[in-house]
Amino acid sequence: KDDDLAFRLGAETSAHSAALSLAGATLFDPSGKKRPFKDWVAVPVDHEDQWLRLADIAFDALFTTRGPN
C-alpha cells in the first residue's frame, strides 16, 4: 500500500507479532502477487507514531542477527 512503511523485524519475534497486531498491518508483499516477505511487516500510516520505534528495532537487528543468505 502506498502509505505503509515496511520493517524487517524477523519472523516469529515479539516485535514482528506486535507490529502485525496493529490494525491494517500486513506482511510486506512488494510484488502484490501474494508472495509476502515473511520477516517484513508493512505498517500503515495510521500507526506512524510506531514507526521510529520499529525502525530502531529493525536497525538493531542488523547487528545482532544474521539475515538469510
Tens of pLDDT, residue by residue over 49-61, are: 999 999 999 999 8
DSSP, res 45: G
Q: What is the pLDDT confidence band of residue 69, given thresholds at 50, 70 and 90?
A: very low
- Of residues 45 and 69, the one with the higher pLDDT is 45
| Spatial distance between the Cα atoms of 37 and 57, rounded to a whole number of angstroms | 17
In the predicted structure, residue 40 carries a pLDDT above the cut 90? yes
Q: pLDDT grade, residue 8 (50/70/90)?
A: very high
Whole-model pTM: value is 0.87
The DSSP letter of residue 68 is P
Residue 31 CA to residue 23 CA, distance in Å, equals 22
How many other CB atoms are found less than 10 A from the CB of residue 8? 18
